[in-house]
A and B are shown apart, each in its own frame.
Chain A
């Protein structure tokens, strides 16, 4: 069973709304699903209407909890976190932050075997840093108690069918080229399941309209070229509504075909 969905892609392709739509779809299937925004972004108020369960992970809190558990003392952990040195170390090793958050997420999933998490991940390069964090920090920590925890994360991610990575792209040349580069890089890190999705496709809805201005004609032609070249890629249709929560609900009906 899929336990963890990771949604990534270039900035501005719609990762957050897609993640929310995926969560909505799973919720409608009566799954126990939880949406996690990796960067702790504040979402528009309108989205509260969707009633999606979310957890936010504060990196400093997660780290302190983890260290306290390891040292068996919350006082010492608190002191360590307060030192300017440790603080800068955490700042300068973003991979370490990612690893701690990822560990925390997997704790939740192992603790509750019914739970599914949708991880609204950082964009392209930062997503790679996150995915690389396990192997990199295993090298750094060599052996010792941390490595056992990293191996636990790796095992979870490697277990067949538990992880699905979605790479969002737009049906245009450069965004798609970037998504394909990213997919290639991800496969160099691990044998995970990835799927590229073309978001905001206009061709179905614009097809029937006549007298389009040149701008939309060009846009349509560009998209058609992409679709012809990559007919196997699933796509999501552009949604015309000005309410974010309505948009997510509509997108959720399109997600069905992907999961």
Chain B
């Protein structure tokens, strides 16, 4: 199995790129699973997905299966039916568990069926590397705090305060109770024990880390776009990539105009300079920065098909050229 992970900020075209990649690979005859997280309605329509499909694998055609990630369904599958407000908040698509739940779900799916390719469209983050950092966050969360708490619990619903006698944790919770009121601490202890009882599933998912570090299996795509004006992106790109990419990933620069502009007459170029110079400069800057940190950079042109369907087939065509 090969795993391809698409990371990047919102709005760079991550979902379109991963969808088209999955369609391209399945078109080549490979068995492909595409896991996508909260795409816009328009893209759901494009993939023929309905709201109720969220959380379950849908076979789109002979070669292509799609899983529209639902943190809610995944959490219920792991922990059973619970009634707990804190866990409900956590299973919000943008709650803090979305990354770990995607990883848990993926681990489960890979176990169930043998795919040639699994394409993962990561949850939208603040910047490029949120998903990569999330894996570390998960590890530290389960290591430092959960383990600290779990040590106090047996397998049954804990008599919490009895067990926490004289520990710092008890002091912490009693302070929290003063701020939050009683109900919260009860719910909280309940949430922790639900997660604790199902800890194997979470800890199993941490094996994902070794999977993604294996360069024979995993390819990282970092997606950026020329129309994003945030200069911080380029800086992060340069400073952090080496830390995360033991195997250098592939950078995709999306929405490029450079190749299009080349075919224009000088007069046209002069005429339109005010409208596209900024984007072209950014494009150039991204390409130059990329050379320092990435072995491979793929350029995807800005697509101007009138309909999303047309854009998708243009993108699939780009993948075949970029091979």
Please give the residue numbers on chain A whose beta carbons come within 8 Å of chain B beta carbons, in ascending order: 10-14, 16-17, 39, 41-42, 44, 67, 70-71, 76, 80, 83-89, 91-95, 122-126, 128-129, 132, 136-137, 139-147, 173-174, 177-178, 181, 202, 205-206, 209, 211-213, 215-216, 218-219, 221-222, 225, 238, 240, 242
Contacts and interface: CB of A to CB of B under 8 A. Distances in A.
B10 interface: yes
A134 B40 CA distance: 24
A18 to B, nearest CB: 12
B148 interface: yes
A129 to B, nearest CB: 4
Nearest to B125: A126
Interface centre among B90, B126, B257, B277, by most chain A C-beta atoms within 10 angstroms, is B126
Which 9 A-B pairs have CB atoms at the shortest separation, nearest pair first? A144-B181, A11-B11, A11-B10, A240-B274, A92-B96, A12-B11, A142-B183, A129-B94, A85-B145
Contacts of B184: 140-142, 144, 146
A177 B40 CA distance: 8
A211 B271 CA distance: 9
Nearest to A202: B275
A85 B169 contact: yes
B179 A88 contact: no
A11 B148 contact: no
Contacts of A83: 168, 172
Interface string B219-247: 00000010111111000000000000000
Contacts of A215: 257, 260-261, 304
Contact of A178 (B40, B89, B96, B126): B40
Contacts of B307: 173
Secondary structure of the A side of the interface?
A: helix
Contacts of B88: 136, 139
A173 B183 CA distance: 46
20 contacts: A11-B10, A12-B225, A14-B229, A17-B229, A70-B179, A80-B175, A91-B141, A92-B96, A92-B137, A92-B141, A95-B89, A129-B95, A139-B85, A140-B86, A144-B180, A144-B182, A174-B308, A177-B40, A215-B257, A218-B304
A149 to B, nearest CB: 10
Interface in B124-159: 124, 126, 137, 140-141, 144-145, 148-149
B180 A125 contact: no
A126 B179 contact: no
Given A144-B179, A216-B272, 6 more contacts: A91-B96, A124-B10, A125-B38, A140-B184, A173-B307, A174-B311
B89 A140 contact: yes
B94 A126 contact: yes
A42 B140 CA distance: 27
B183 A141 contact: yes
B183 A213 contact: no
A213 B271 CA distance: 10
Interface stretch (B27-35, B52-60, B208-216, B262-270): B262-270
B74 to A, nearest CB: 15
B97 interface: yes
Contact of A242 (B144, B175, B263, B278): B278
B34 to A, nearest CB: 18
Contact of B181 (A92, A145, A221): A145
B18 interface: no
B203 interface: no
